[in-house]
């Protein structure tokens, strides 16, 4: 399923990951919306998984997480672990269901943001970080998910535009396109 990915695609993903992480740290984190900052990294990882599949999604999640942990001097591995799971899950969604609805990126983005926030918090609690489970923490998580959901569609459009040229032609999609254009329609054949 994931065979046929060109090195150009991997380079595009790598460049996009670096740019997004620095943009996240330099700009997005500095602009609070509803008292919280948007988190682009789970959106990026989920959308890469949604476009490229589970293996690439998981690898991107691990790399982006490592980059974030290194750049922000956080505990190494925490963000990697959560984003690996997010990327893998988004890739499996594509491989199993291949959802084509227009709102799919919105729902995937929301789910990815929620999974990343909750997963990160859980790992932090497991590590024994002294922070109470308060209403404020829940509010921050919920607001973060809402903000990420709001920006999910534009981020999806950008990620898709950046990667679409390097994606291999998927036979299932080719078949679907043929149906819609009439070339391979059973009706036209009959």
Partner 1 sequence: MYDKTVRRRRAVLALLVVLSLILLTAYFGEASSGGLHSVQRGFLTVVSPIQNGANKALKPVRDLVGWFGDTLHAKGQRDELRKQVDKLRGEVIANQSEKHAYRELLTLYHLDNQLSVNDYHPVTATVVAKSPNVWYSTVTIDKGESSGVHVNDPVINGEGLVGKVAQAASDGAQVTLITDSSVGVSARIGTSNATGIVQPKVGDPNDLLLQYLPANTQANRGEYVVTSGTVSSSHDSLYPPGIPIGQVTSVNEESAYRSVNVHPLADLHNLDVVQVLTAAQGTLPANLSRLAANLPAGQHAEGTTGESLALAGSGG
Give the footprint of partner 1 on residues 64-123 (CB under 8 A): 65-66, 69-71, 73, 75-78, 80-81, 84-85, 88, 123
Using CB under 8 A as the binding rule, whether residue 169 contacts partner 1 is answered as no
Q: Applying CB under 8 A, does 54 fall inside the site for partner 1?
A: yes
> Does residue 27 interact with partner 1 by CB under 8 A?
yes
Count the site residues for partner 1 by CB under 8 A: 35
Q: Is 184 exposed, middle or buried (0-12, 13-18, 19+ CB in 10 A)?
A: middle
* 61 counts as binding partner 1 under rule CB under 8 A: yes
Q: How far is the CB of 80 from partner 1 (least distance, A)?
A: 4
- Closest CB to partner 1 among residues 35, 183: 35
CA count, 13 A, side-chain hemisphere, 4: 10
Identify the burial level of 164 via C-beta atoms within 10 angstroms of its C-beta, where 0-12 means exposed, 13-18 middle and 19 or more buried.
exposed
Beta carbons within 8 Å of 74's beta carbon, 6+ residues apart: 68
Contact between 59 and partner 1 per CB under 8 A: yes
Question: Cβ of residue 96: shortest distance to partner 1, in angstroms?
Answer: 12
- Does residue 1 bind partner 1 (CB under 8 A)? yes
Residue whose pair of structure tokens reads 């789970």 in the numeric block: 42
Segment near partner 1 (CB under 8 A), from 51-59, 106-114, 150-158, 172-180? 51-59
- Helix H, strand E, coil C: the string for 21-40 is HHHHHHCHHHCCECCECCCH
26 binds partner 1 (CB under 8 A): yes
Q: Which residues lie closer than 8 Å to 25 by C-beta, 6 or more apart?
A: 71, 72
Residue 142, both tokens = 């919920």
What residues make contact with partner 1 under the rule CB under 8 A?
A: 1-3, 22-23, 25-27, 30-33, 54-55, 58-59, 61-62, 65-66, 69-71, 73, 75-78, 80-81, 84-85, 88, 123, 127
């Amino acid at each position: 399923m994931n065979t046929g990915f060109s090195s150009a695609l991997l380079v595009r993903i790598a460049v996009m990951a670096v740019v997004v992480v620095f943009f996240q740290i330099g700009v997005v984190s500095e602009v609070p919306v509803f008292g919280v900052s948007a988190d682009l990294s789970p959106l990026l990882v989920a959308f890469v998984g949604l476009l490229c599949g589970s293996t690439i999604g998981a690898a991107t999640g691990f790399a982006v997480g490592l980059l974030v942990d290194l750049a922000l001097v956080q505990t190494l591995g925490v963000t990697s672990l959560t984003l690996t799971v997010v990327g893998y899950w988004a890739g499996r969604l594509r491989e199993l269901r291949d959802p084509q609805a227009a709102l799919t990126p919105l729902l995937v983005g929301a789910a990815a943001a929620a999974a990343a926030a909750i997963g990160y918090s859980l790992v932090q609690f497991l590590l024994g970080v002294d922070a109470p489970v308060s209403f404020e923490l829940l509010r921050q998580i919920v607001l973060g998910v809402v903000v990420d959901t709001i920006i999910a569609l534009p981020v999806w459009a950008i990620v898709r535009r950046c990667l679409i040229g390097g994606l291999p032609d998927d036979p299932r999609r080719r078949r679907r396109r043929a149906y819609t254009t009439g070339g391979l329609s059973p009706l036209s054949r009959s």
